[in-house]
Structure 1
Amino acid sequence: MKIKTLKEERNKPLIIIFAGPTAVGKTALTLRLAREYGLEIVNADSMQVYRFMDIGTAKPSKMERLIVPHHLLDVVDPDEHFDAGIFRELADGVIREIWSRGGVPLVVGGTGLYLRVLTRGICKGIPGNPEVQKRLKMECEKVGIGVMYRRLQDVDPDTACRVHPNDRQRILRALEVFETTGLPISVFQKKHRFSESPYRALKIFLFRDRHELYGRIDRRVLDMIKNGLVDEVERLLEMGYGPDLKPMQAIGYRQMVEYLRGEKGLEEAVREIQKETRHYAKRQFTWFRKEPGYEWVHADDVDTLRHKIDSVFEEEFFSE
């Protein structure tokens, strides 16, 4: 079914969200459906916003971007700050611009926090405390991120279970909030309840059997190596993007830096990437099980996805 005429003006734009774990097959599927329905894709992957980081983030290729309009790819350099609040502001502008032209955005990604703040609002920021920030950074350099993460588990277990043990920025921020306010950051987030709804959204979570998904993850990591991930990371280092930068600490990039430094062999690095990516996918499943409003659809069930999109268009927007 092609989009034809708008039935009536709506105050809130409609968006379609395809979320899902890494390697579930979001790119190929969304390209297919976006082309079929005339949708424009809005990226909601926290790593694909960075320039020069293509292979390790499984970013859509230039050819794929020519087939369907893509937004919010290559937004910032690896040494520039980017967070969920910035994403929400940029994504909202893109969504409303697409909507103003009579289009429908297809938001695609697996970064749960980005999709949460986009559809349900964002917890108002707690002012930073420069003195505490400085002290925590110095302490982290001295004792290591593992010790800081264990401290977070003690004072704020709810946040610790949602944060990767190597996510230095979020761990230190959570500890800063606790030391500044005496309350865990999760308490402030629960008070907010993420209740804002700026859009009408069809929210789909794409899934596969865990054994099948893990096999796809392992093969994709091997493909990344074959397609030049080592060269990509080496080039980033030569450009001056150091290993301490947040995106350079991401899965795949951190291990390739260690390999290039001679700290581990290539086979060991690949196995670690595969293992950590499988763990990341497991966390994505856990996150989205707790998110309201998502309909779970197998990633190969294209007919069901078409039916859901058709139903939304027919009910909300368009005459046949």
Structure 2
Amino acid sequence: MVLTGPTAVGKTSLSIKVAERLNGSIISADSMQVYKKMDIGSAKIMTDEMCNIPHYLIDVLEPWEEFHVARFQQMAMEAIQDIYQKNRLPILVGGTGFYIQAILKDVDFSGDSGKSAFRQELEERARAGGSDELYQMLKTEDPVSAENIHPHNVKRVIRALEYYHETKSPISLHNAKEMERESPFCYSYFVLNDRREHLYERINQRVDQMMEKGLLDEVKYLKSLGLTSQMVSMQGLGYKELLSYLDGNISLCDAVESIKRNTRHFAKRQLTWFKREKNVVWIDKSKYDYDEDAILNQILRIWEKRTSNRNGEYHDD
């Protein structure tokens, strides 16, 4: 099962209830919760909140380690096998759509190992002058990918440029072909959603709560360990903005407002991604008056129908 949706929509608490009812184990499909020492900014579930449900890919890497979709895929596939061996249901929970796709479509990343000289050159250019120049290159060579990659996502911009350099073909074409692959799994894909104004208010409130819980101190500690804005982990929402404040580039008030704005934009991009996915069941929280038990029962009802008729589709009409 996949349980996803935009950031702050309420996936975590619902996933626990789903796992309890279906004898499930949870695999985090999140690019930040994999890191140790990064609890507040990643909205990481704490041990006492897990209700004895096994969780995978949470707190397994140090924040200075590299983490990317190919590594996620390898670790998640190993977790899935372990869960199956224990006769439990693997439940992918998180908002990183590309990670979810990498599992469901068994995307081939075999050509993405190692660091080419061209990639190193692009990384140096990004360090020296930022990502704008590279993004303009991508818009020229692969405008479709440029539409789907945020200008500040340096890692993905570089990968797209590297792929074009190596193959003379846009990575967007490669990704489109990967999307058509048959999945090795029988699965149900649920997207939890909410009214935009309500979701955005939840995002703003959560950022305020993170600051109250000590997000600034968390970033100060990470900075004291030598972590910089060039590291993958510190590109996460909340971390990069507060690091910019600590580096003297912006005020604290501006940093907090940037976190809220960037998180809202991120939620919008997440929803755009999920709308492109096929065979997805959308669950609108407002339709159930925000009653989590009613939402849970609907998910279970759809799950039972789809598992009893694996070739059929079900729409939450």
Which is further off, 127-136 or 150-159?
A: 127-136
CA–CA distance in structure 2, aligned partners of residues 134 and 81 of structure 1 = 15
Counterpart code for 1:256: L
The percent of aligned pairs where both chains have the same amino acid is 35
CA–CA distance in structure 2, aligned partners of residues 18 and 177 of structure 1 = 31
- In structure 2, the partner of 1:196 is 182
- In structure 1, the partner of 2:21 is 36
CA–CA distance in structure 2, aligned partners of residues 206 and 191 of structure 1 = 27
Report 1:229-308 matches (<5 A): 229-299=215-285, 300=290, 301-308=295-302
Tell me the CA shift for residue 312 of structure 1: 4.7
Which is further off, 298-307 or 123-132?
A: 123-132
- In structure 1, the partner of 2:161 is 175
- In structure 2, the partner of 1:26 is 11
1:267 match: secondary structure: helix
What 5-or-longer segments of structure 2 have no aligned partner?
A: 311-317
Q: Which has the higher contact order (CA 8 A, sep 6+)?
A: 1
1:59 match: secondary structure: coil
Counterpart code for 2:99: Y
1:67 match: secondary structure: coil
- The count of aligned residue pairs is 301
CA–CA distance in structure 1, aligned partners of residues 261 and 87 of structure 2 = 43
Q: Normalized against structure 1, the TM-score is what? A: 0.88
- In structure 2, the partner of 1:222 is 208
1:297 match: secondary structure: strand
What 5-or-longer segments of structure 1 have no aligned partner?
A: 1-15
Which is further off, 239-248 or 103-112?
A: 239-248
Structure 1 residues 189-245: Cα deviation after superposition (integer angstroms, max 9, x where no partner)? 223345131211011011001111000000001111111110111111112222210
Tell me the CA shift for residue 154 of structure 1: 1.9
Runs of 4+ in 1 over 6 A off after TM superposition: none
- In structure 1, the partner of 2:315 is none
2:78 is matched with which residue: 73, 93, 109?
Answer: 93
CA–CA distance in structure 2, aligned partners of residues 93 and 126 of structure 1 = 20
2:148 match: secondary structure: coil
CA–CA distance in structure 1, aligned partners of residues 214 and 117 of structure 2 = 42
Is residue 17 of structure 1 aligned with residue 2 of structure 2? yes
Tell me the CA shift for residue 172 of structure 1: 1.3
- In structure 1, the partner of 2:305 is 311
Query: How has the CA–CA distance of structure 1 residues 148 and 18 changed in structure 2, closer, same or farther, with 3 Å as cutoff?
Result: same
Structure 1 residues 89-143: Cα deviation after superposition (integer angstroms, max 9, x where no partner)? 2212211221222211221011011100100111344366732123222322333
Q: Normalized against structure 2, the TM-score is what? A: 0.89
CA–CA distance in structure 2, aligned partners of residues 45 and 304 of structure 1 = 25
1:150 is matched with which residue: 133, 136, 161?
Answer: 136
Provide the alpha-carbon RMSD of the alignment. Answer: 1.8
- In structure 2, the partner of 1:13 is none
Q: Tell me if the contact between 1:87 and 1:114 (Cα under 8 Å) persists in the aligned partners.
A: yes
Query: How has the CA–CA distance of structure 1 residues 159 and 226 changed in structure 2, closer, same or farther, with 3 Å as cutoff?
Result: same
Q: Tell me if the contact between 1:243 and 1:254 (Cα under 8 Å) persists in the aligned partners.
A: yes
- In structure 1, the partner of 2:194 is 208
Which is further off, 62-71 or 205-214?
A: 62-71
- In structure 2, the partner of 1:5 is none
Is residue 186 of structure 1 aligned with residue 172 of structure 2? yes
CA–CA distance in structure 2, aligned partners of residues 129 and 116 of structure 1 = 24
Counterpart code for 1:211: E
CA–CA distance in structure 2, aligned partners of residues 104 and 223 of structure 1 = 33
CA–CA distance in structure 1, aligned partners of residues 189 and 219 of structure 2 = 34
Structure 1 residues 234-290: Cα deviation after superposition (integer angstroms, max 9, x where no partner)? 111112222210110122100110111222111111110000100000000100100
Report 1:102-141 matches (<5 A): 102-126=87-111, 130-141=116-127
Query: How has the CA–CA distance of structure 1 residues 122 and 51 changed in structure 2, closer, same or farther, with 3 Å as cutoff?
Result: same
Structure 1 residues 20-59: Cα deviation after superposition (integer angstroms, max 9, x where no partner)? 0000000111122222333211111111111111111111
1:200 match: secondary structure: coil
